[in-house]
Amino acid sequence: MSHQILNRMTNFDDVIIVGGGLTGLFCALKLAPRPVTLIAAAPLGQGASTAWAQGGIAAAVGEGDSPEAHAVDTIAAGGGLVDEAIALALAREAPARIRDLLHYGVPFDRDLEGRLAVGREAAHSARRIVHVRGDMAGRAIIAALTEAVRRTPSIRLIEGYVAEALLTEDNEVTGLQLRKANEPNVMPLTIAARAVVLATGGIGHLYAVTTNPREASGLGLAIAARAGAVIADPEFVQFHPTAIMAGRDPAPLATEALRGEGAILINGKGERFMAARHRLAELAPRDIVARGVFAEIAAGRGAFLDARDALGARFADKFPTVHASCLAAGIDPARVPIPVAPAAHYHMGGIAVDARGRSSIDGLWAGGEVSSTGAHGANRLASNSLLEAVVYAARIAEDIKSSALPATARAPAASPPRRNAAFPALSETNLRAMMTSRVGVIRDGDHLAEAVRAFARLEREAHSAALANMAASALLVAASAWTRRESRGAHYRSDCPAESQALAHRTMTTLAKARAIAESLADRAPARDAQPMMA
Ligand SMILES: Cc1cc2nc3c(=O)[nH]c(=O)nc-3n(C[C@H](O)[C@H](O)[C@H](O)COP(=O)(O)OP(=O)(O)OC[C@H]3O[C@@H](n4cnc5c(N)ncnc54)[C@H](O)[C@@H]3O)c2cc1C
């Protein structure tokens, strides 16, 4: 849709869905024929983590499996913070949502008898991952849903626009402020809305090393937080232990299956380091391997995935995607170890929502990775994220259909626009580097405090809305990580390495609280903190 046309449409009062990943597309389809406007920062098919998912969706559809067993595995992975009722309900709804996806044309793999083929993944007690052509689930889901959305006349699509502010009055949604992506000098637009669904994905791109697309910069989380929404568990970020350090941003993944096939982790001196850290060595849980890799890199020894003995010449055949990523970086993994590092991969925290996907702001729903339902606790079980996205997308649609929305949208008051939405390169680089070094795999109080102060200052002073939003999300993660003085799930503090019974509860916070933490830490700032972060 052209900017001119959109500019004239400043008063539609539809349901507005922000995000073109699994959550946004599925929710829009489920709402049909009710008119909805779907806004995505990038053209559909691009800029969404969903399209990059390789494993698939967890669903207890295999013989001998049950939703109860699925819920037990989900709860065990979550470090004591999973909401058990939510996990069980999620597992129970999984088969129905898989049927929906089949109906929309997702070609899940089947066995010889025509039943859904299910694969196994770490920490699942049964084979329960439905997949497409091996590792193509994400791409196939996005392709099928995009086609269905483009065929549905009730869905108005606006691609290439970024939501940069959520407008509210008396804790009720009144609209959104948008800006054309990659055109920072164009003025923002204001759209009235009675109902907004945020489906903007995760925050991985706040980190210098990530597997997530650039659009996963925490903007959706930030706009809700800046409007006063309650945010849950922001400190819990899952890191994938073996992203390939091949000079690419985002970093390609060296799948866990390589370690399953016998590839080992070594440092630059050729020493195998995981065996001393865990009895399962390279096959230890994801967060433990991530910490092992991080520690070797931090000690200056580097970390490498060595598949020479385990796979050698078979590498290209068995792992063509990883092989291609390595070759593109000039690495032949059959002959040399692959340089790896932990990468920000998935955000367990997000906008706090109830079982219907409702946030603490009237008229604001959130689903998928931008939300926090309580299903993942302190650590996500593999392939539960796409499941949560599709289940909550359906629930949100159901809830909106049965809700009495205000008869007309209130006229939204635009928030004072920041100068532009561009990402000043140096500031963004600094923020991402600080997230990786201070709020990453291994954290401690002093470095977290430094990050909290820097992000609070950046959030106040940034000239661009995008950078201020990134800083707000970074501040939420850092401030809650500072507050949680224990180690649990994916959150590890070297100064508090044990789990604390007293902290066995979810975090519920707001941006105001995070800013107050920054203020309380201001007095303790050492001189080096005064360095400006802005370019
Ligand atoms: C490499 C990789 C592999 C993965 N593999 C799996 C797997 O096998 N199984 C599994 O369950 N999970 C997997 N995950 C996680 C899973 O893919 C995501 O959690 C899930 O796809 C999130 O879906 P979503 O709809 O919430 O967000 P996304 O799919 O990320 O979609 C977000 C959408 O919002 C748009 N957007 C963002 N900000 C704005 C804004 N401010 N304004 C307008 N639009 C905006 C984006 O452009 C995009 O269209 C993987 C993730 C990655 C990165």
The secondary structure of 174-223, three-state, reads EEEEEEECCCCCCCCEEEECCEEEECCCCCHHHCCCECCCCCCCCHHHHH
Phi, psi of 198 (to 5 degrees): -90, 125
CB under 8 Å to 349, separation ≥6 — which residues?
231, 232, 233, 234, 235, 236, 237, 372, 476, 477, 480, 507
- pLDDT at residue 406 in the model: 67
Catalytic site includes residue 515: no
Task: Indicate the top mutation candidate among 23, 49, 141 to test ligand 1's pocket, ranked by most ligand atoms within 8 A of CB.
Answer: 49
Closest CA to 464 of 420, 427, 432: 420
137 contacts 383 by C-beta, under 8 angstroms: no
Q: How far is Cα 514 from Cα 529, in angstroms, rounded to an integer?
A: 18
Taking 90 as the threshold, does the pLDDT of residue 320 lie above it? no
Instruction: Tell which wins on pLDDT, 135 or 345.
Output: 345
Instruction: Please work out whether the CB of residue 321 comes within 6 Å of at least one atom of ligand 1.
Output: no
Q: Which of 97, 226, 259, 286 is catalytic?
A: 286
Over range 505-531, report the average pLDDT.
Answer: 86
**Ligand 1: centre distance to CA 202 (Å):** 6
Taking 70 as the threshold, does the pLDDT of residue 50 lie above it? yes
**Ligand 1: centre distance to CA 528 (Å):** 36
Over range 422-451, report the average pLDDT.
Answer: 88
List the residue whose alpha carbon is closest to atom 9 of ligand 1: 383
- pLDDT at residue 514 in the model: 98
Task: Indicate the top mutation candidate among 29, 129, 146, 200 to test ligand 1's pocket, ranked by most ligand atoms within 8 A of CB.
Answer: 200
CB under 8 Å to 336, separation ≥6 — which residues?
308
Task: Indicate the top mutation candidate among 196, 226, 385, 395 to test ligand 1's pocket, ranked by most ligand atoms within 8 A of CB.
Answer: 385
Q: Name the band, by pLDDT with cuts 50, 70 and 90, for residue 207.
A: very high
How far is it between the farthest Cα atoms of the chain? 68
**Ligand 1: centre distance to CA 394 (Å):** 17
Which atom of ligand 1 is the closest one to the Cα of 23? 25
User: What is the share, in percent, of the chain residues with pLDDT greater than 90?
Assistant: 81
**Ligand 1: centre distance to CA 22 (Å):** 7
Q: Name the band, by pLDDT with cuts 50, 70 and 90, for residue 526.
A: confident
